């Protein structure tokens, strides 16, 4: 692949001023196919490659990921360039030096055009974005929540739909992005009581005729997010494997829906059998 033919653009602005929020609009208006934003290679509403820097535990690690300082991370993106037959790309960064460093680390040619946040956003809009970042600890990523669920297991995710008119005679721009609250958020730790998850899972079990009751729920936190472990008593005569598989998927969706948190792992174990005829439980 001839990298010299790739058109490289940059979108520059201070942290928290709304670059990710406007990235797709800037890309569309300049005929750019792909976006590099905080460690991710994005095309339209899809994550093509990379791991989000916003998953990092500290700001220092975030910067390292965003700059693609590790050879392994660089190679993943370069492989995607080859596969996608990249022709143009928009690199997001907080300074001219940062976007130039990213381009160099990924083996891209020099940046031919730089767009600054002041060119596309008013001072009031930038101040609103800063307030959301500093006060609420929220960050925007230019892809939908659905696309980010596996990438951000255990993190808080909220959809953000954007509608922007391009003026008379032009089609409006509609896009969905995601708001996330990373580990290094200014708000500190966010906790949900274990009893909340237990109540959700117990409620879901009452809707399943093959699950007699939830015997135990354990909630653990890992480096990557949330882990749920559940023991249930199943009704005698059912296909245990099929019942647990379907029940697990329904529970996972319900937890995501009610808490906005995506479990990194969810294990369900059949701990016993309930025999209706004699109204007796037999534990394993």
Is the confidence at residue 76, as pLDDT, over 90?
Answer: yes
Predicted pLDDT at 95: 93
CA distance 142 to 136: 19
Q: Are residues 70 and 134 in the same domain?
A: yes
Q: Are residues 144 and 42 in the same domain?
A: yes
Domain count, the chain: 2
In a domain, 189, yes or no: no
In a domain, 186, yes or no: no
34 strand-pairing partners: 43, 89
Q: What is the mean predicted confidence (pLDDT) over 157-163?
A: 51
CA distance 20 to 240: 46
Q: CATH no. for residue 214?
A: 3.30.70.1350
CA distance 240 to 243: 5
Given 160, 181, 202, the domain boundary residue is: 181
Predicted pLDDT at 239: 94
Question: Residue 189, Cα to own-chain centre: how many angstroms?
Answer: 18
Q: Are residues 170 and 206 in the same domain?
A: no
Q: Are residues 138 and 258 in the same domain?
A: no
In a domain, 58, yes or no: yes
pLDDT band at 155 (very low <50, low <70, confident <90, very high): low
Domain boundaries, position 19: 3-181
Q: Are residues 202 and 140 in the same domain?
A: no
Q: Are residues 173 and 204 in the same domain?
A: no
Q: What is the mean predicted confidence (pLDDT) over 162-183?
A: 52
Predicted pLDDT at 56: 64
Of residues 28 and 9, which shows the higher confidence score?
Answer: 9
The candidate with the shortest Cα–Cα distance to 17, out of 125, 95, 158, is 125
The helix or strand, by DSSP H or E, that contains position 88, with its residue range, turns out to be: strand 88-93
pLDDT band at 2 (very low <50, low <70, confident <90, very high): confident
pLDDT band at 175 (very low <50, low <70, confident <90, very high): low
Q: Are residues 160 and 228 in the same domain?
A: no
Q: What is the mean predicted confidence (pLDDT) over 148-165?
A: 52
Using the 8-state DSSP alphabet, how is residue 154 labeled?
T
**Ranges 52-66, 71-85, 87-101: which has the least confidence:** 52-66
């Amino acid at each position: 692949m001839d990298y010299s033919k790739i058109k490289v653009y940059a979108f520059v602005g201070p942290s928290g001023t709304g670059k990710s929020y406007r990235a797709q609009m800037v890309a569309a208006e300049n005929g750019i196919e792909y976006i590099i934003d905080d460690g991710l290679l994005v095309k339209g509403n899809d994550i093509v490659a990379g791991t989000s820097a916003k998953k990092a535990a500290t700001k220092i690690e975030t910067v390292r990921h965003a700059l693609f300082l590790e050879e392994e991370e660089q190679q993943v993106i370069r492989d995607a360039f080859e596969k996608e037959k990249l022709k143009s790309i928009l690199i997001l960064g907080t300074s001219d030096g940062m976007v130039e460093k990213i381009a160099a680390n990924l083996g891209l040619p020099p940046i031919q055009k730089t767009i600054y946040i002041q060119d596309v956003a008013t001072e009031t809009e930038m101040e609103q974005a800063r307030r959301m970042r500093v006060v609420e600890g929220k960050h925007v990523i230019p892809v939908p929540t659905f696309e980010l669920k596996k990438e951000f297991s255990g993190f808080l995710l909220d959809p953000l739909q954007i509608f922007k008119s391009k003026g008379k005679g032009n089609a409006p721009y509609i896009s969905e992005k995601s708001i996330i609250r990373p580990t290094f958020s200014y708000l500190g730790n966010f906790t949900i009581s274990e009893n909340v998850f237990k109540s959700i899972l117990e409620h879901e079990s009452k809707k399943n005729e093959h699950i007699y009751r939830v015997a135990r729920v354990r909630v653990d936190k890992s480096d990557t997010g949330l882990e749920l472990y559940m023991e249930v008593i199943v009704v005698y005569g059912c296909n245990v494997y099929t019942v647990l598989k379907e029940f697990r998927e329904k529970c996972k969706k319900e937890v995501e829906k009610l808490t906005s948190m995506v479990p990194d792992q969810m294990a369900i174990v059949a701990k016993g059998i309930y025999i209706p005829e004699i109204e007796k439980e037999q534990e394993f």
